[in-house]
């Protein structure tokens, strides 16, 4: 029984929602495509190149949702209540912060399953201290550079 339970958790396929479409979105999709049962992307569809759209629509588990003026409606339309992981990766830090707070406080997705990317290091520090899962791109890049230099 324990072995079967372990096997089922190892094979779990995640339902993922991503707010925003950019290079980070495509990297997340590539990393998670095999571990996901579905990936929904909320974005402005008019800003996605035709080649990107065709490439990702080949995958039957990827779905695009047009972004509107209501973040709550957009999240509901993407079935946020049924998701396992939420990433907010727009280029707008306040939107990313607001999205994670909405997902956690209105839709009750746990803090460890809702992650936002922030470019502003000060905001990342403040909101991380409030137990929001924030990834700061500047810190990631500089940490990677330092790790590379340390290995030389």
Q: How far apart are the first and last CA of the chain?
A: 48
The answer to whether the CB of 132 falls within 8 A of the CB of 116 is yes
Domain boundaries, the chain: 12-151
Q: What secondary structure does DSSP assign to 139-150, as a single string?
A: HHHHHHHHHHHH
CA distances from 96 to 5, 58, 108, 127 (A): 35, 28, 17, 11
pLDDT at 11: 66
Tell me the per-residue pLDDT of 1-50, one tens digit each, with 9 for 90 and over.
Answer: 444 444 344 567 899 999 999 988 999 998 998 889 999 999 999 988 88
Kind of pairing between the strands at 62-66 and 36-43: parallel
What sign for the dihedral angle of Cα 52, 38, 28, 67? positive
**pTM: predicted TM-score of the whole model, two decimal places:** 0.82
- The architecture that CATH gives domain 12-151 is 3-Layer(aba) Sandwich (3.40)
């Amino acid at each position: 029984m324990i072995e079967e339970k372990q096997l089922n958790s190892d094979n779990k396929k995640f339902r993922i929602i991503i707010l925003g479409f950019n290079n980070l979105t495509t990297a997340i999709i590539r990393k998670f495509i095999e571990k996901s049962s579905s990936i929904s992307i909320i974005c402005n569809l008019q800003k996605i190149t035709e080649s990107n759209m065709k490439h990702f629509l080949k995958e039957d588990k990827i779905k695009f949702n047009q972004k509107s003026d209501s973040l709550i409606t957009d999240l509901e339309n993407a079935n946020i209540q049924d998701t396992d992981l939420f990433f907010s990766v727009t280029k707008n830090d306040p939107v990313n912060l607001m999205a994670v707070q909405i997902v956690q406080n209105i839709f009750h997705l746990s803090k460890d399953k809702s992650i936002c990317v922030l470019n502003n290091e000060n905001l990342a520090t403040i909101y991380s201290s409030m137990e929001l899962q924030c990834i700061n791109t500047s810190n990631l890049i500089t940490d990677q550079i330092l790790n590379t230099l340390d290995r030389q």
